[in-house]
Amino acid sequence: MIAVDLAWVAEAVTGELQLNGSETTSDAVINRVTIDSRDVQAGDLFIAIQGPRFDGHDYAAQAIQDGAVAVISMHALKLDAPVIVVKDTRYALGQLAAAVKQRCEVKTIAMTGSSGKTTVKEMCAAILRQHGKVLATQGNFNNDIGVPLTLLNLTPEHDYAVIELGANHRGEIAYTTGLTKPDVALINNVSPAHVEGFGDIWGVAHAKSEIAKGLPANGVIWTNGNSRFHSFWLQEYAQRQHKVFAVANPELPKQVQADIWAQDIQLDAQGCAAFTLCLGDKRQPVKVPIPGEHNVANAVAAAALCSELGVNIESIASGIASIQPVPGRMNVHTVRPNLRIIDDTYNANVASAKAAIDALASFNGYRVMVLGDMGELGAHAREYHEEVGAHGIQAGIDNLFTLGVLSQSASETFNGHGGQHFDHQDALVAALVETMTQQQELTILVKGSRSARMERVVEALITRASQTNQGSTAC
Q: What is the pLDDT of residue 200?
A: 87
> Which has the closest alpha carbon to 61: 4, 6, 20, 30?
20
Angle at Cα 280 formed by Cα 275 and Cα 282, nearest 5°?
55
Which DSSP symbol is given to 370? E
Is 448 within any annotated ligand binding site? no
3-state helix, strand, coil in the chain (%, to 5): 35, 25, 40
Q: What is the pLDDT of residue 253?
A: 82
pTM: 0.88
Which distant-in-sequence residues (6+ apart) come within 8 Å of 456 by Cβ?
425
Q: Where exactly are the structural domains of the chain?
A: 4-88, 105-322, 331-473
Exposure letters 12-30 (e unless 16+ CB within 10 A, then b): bbebebbebebeeeeebeb
Which helix (H) or strand (E) segment is 372 a member of?
strand 366-372
Q: What is the pLDDT of residue 290?
A: 93
DSSP 40-84: --TTPEEE--B-SS-BGGGGHHHHHHTT-SEEEESS----SS-EE
Give every residue of the chain whose pLDDT is below 70, as ranges: 193-197, 466-475
Is 180 within any annotated ligand binding site? no
The Cα 423–Cα 333 span in angstroms is: 26
Q: Hey, which CATH number is domain 4-88, 1.10.3720.10, 1.10.287.70, 3.40.1390.10, 2.40.170.20?
A: 3.40.1390.10
Is 132 within any annotated ligand binding site? no
Q: What is the pLDDT of residue 145?
A: 96
Is 119 within any annotated ligand binding site? yes
Q: What is the pLDDT of residue 194?
A: 59
> Which has the closest alpha carbon to 184: 277, 314, 304, 95?
304
The Cα 155–Cα 317 span in angstroms is: 28
Identify the CATH number of the domain defined by range 331-473. 3.90.190.20
Is 113 within any annotated ligand binding site? yes
The Cα 396–Cα 399 span in angstroms is: 9
Strands 70-73 and 45-47: parallel
Identify the CATH number of the domain defined by range 105-322. 3.40.1190.10
Is 137 within any annotated ligand binding site? no
The Cα 93–Cα 14 span in angstroms is: 11
